[in-house]
Structure 1
Amino acid sequence: MTMQYETLLVDIANHTATVTLNRPDVRNAFNETMIAEVRAAFESLGERDDVRAIVLAGSGKAFCAGADLNWMRKMAGYSDAENRADAMGLARMLAAVYRCPKPVIARVQGDAYAGGMGLVCTADIVVAADTVNFCLSEARLGLMPATIAPYVIRALGEQASRRYFVTAEAFDCATALRLGLVSEAVSAADLDATVQRIAQTLCANSPNAVRECKQLVQDVASKPIDDALIADTAERIARIRASDEGRDGVSSFLEKRTPRWRA
């Protein structure tokens, strides 16, 4: 099944949706249309029962080069109110990907710069070709990576972010792997097979459990291990044990049968 967009290709097959940034002539750079369409696509896919995983990809040589030059020229003439509204559009797009209840795999076949790197950082799993480069280039232009910062800092860690925010240095895939931004670095020839393997693994698991696990990490990360957190996590496991998929999953394991979500 294919969904129609101006700047994206969206296809659904075997419980996996693939969202491909499709402006290869400008290195898949963002403009207002792409920002709105990425947000709409992820909000829509997040609500679909037939989708269990989402692959975020880019067409052409680059994954995403950040902001489109024509869009940046328009921004230069914006009023304060227009600038704030425009920035909120980008921020809401990033949040839509990060908060999507379905697990997101970024398939990074080419370089990811500025906002494009921020988009990578919203994904749950990042599989990158070992030749790609990453860069937070905003400081070179007198800007800062503000809207992408919450996601980049979570993905890179505070110390690495302190360096790359201020230096605007490019760094290679091996460095991204060492820092934890990239989950797996593979040859370009192995990229699709690796992404497919991970997607199949996700789709074999309980859809409800996958959704709850993703939310669990977002809710628990960086919180103090206090009585409130202990009580919250106990309540979560009690609730999922009593869920339909939780009961069926445990029963199927004990009875050595296939759970209903895989039947």
Structure 2
Amino acid sequence: MKRVLITGANSYVGTNVEKWLMKEPENFYVENLDMRDPNWKNFDFSKFDVVFHVAGIAHVSTKKSMKDLYFKVNRDLTIETAIKAKESGVKQFIFMSSMIVYNSKETRITKDTKPNPDNFYGLSKLQAEEGILPLQSETFNVVVLRPPMIYGPGSKGNFPKLIKLAKKTPIFPNISNKRSMLYIDNLSESIKTIIKKSHSGTFYPQNQEYSCTTEIVRLLSITFNRRIFFTRVTNLLIRALRSHVSTINKLFSDSYYDHELSRDILKCSTITLNDSISLLNNHE
């Protein structure tokens, strides 16, 4: 029996991971802790084997007024929580970092690609990693997760916007790109495996197959029984604008992890892109 504390109540990832683990009540006991309540510092961590830290500011902002808050929550709170976990005798600390610790201009990320974030969110996550990794010891395993875009029923961010677009647009660009993505159940299974095997180190969970934005919209059109016309007419314009317009860059650029980075955890991602789109439709 692994006793797991999820630090960060009501988060999308935390809630889904808790539900996933509780499918095996004989193997996992799960509680969550609201880190917005300052009394969390008095909470007894010692009865847990694992702390899964998901508390943080998730949405990227370039406003300078947000800078201090990003570092206070994403970096300082993470390090403080990890230190408390170690001092309490917790055996494993899992931190939800992000692919955004790499520069947004990186298209293919390999083992040789160095983190180089270009916003406060990415930098705060990277500095949190740097603050907790030295805590690794024979009795305290530190895990850093750097997932790409996470999607699933009820998810927030760019993927729901793409779903809304697929439900409305009669036309969409037919352009090839390659992106790493991660269905929420694949992430949850990866975390379950990391906990069961008491892993340490940095992990890059992703779906087994790369995604193409046009292919995703095509699958969505089939799922929602909509006819969308795909055209290459706008491809030259899109390629010209990718490096200048962030929305177009997110939709149509390449951004993926080399599969070699994920080889230790890739087999946990058993749900295919096609199946995940179908599962999304069941929750619409």
TM-score interval (norm. to shorter): 0.3 to 0.5
TM-score for both structures, normalised by structure 1:
0.33
**Greater relative CO (CA pairs within 8 A, separation 6+):** 2
TM-score for both structures, normalised by structure 2:
0.31
The structure where helix makes up a greater share of residues is 1
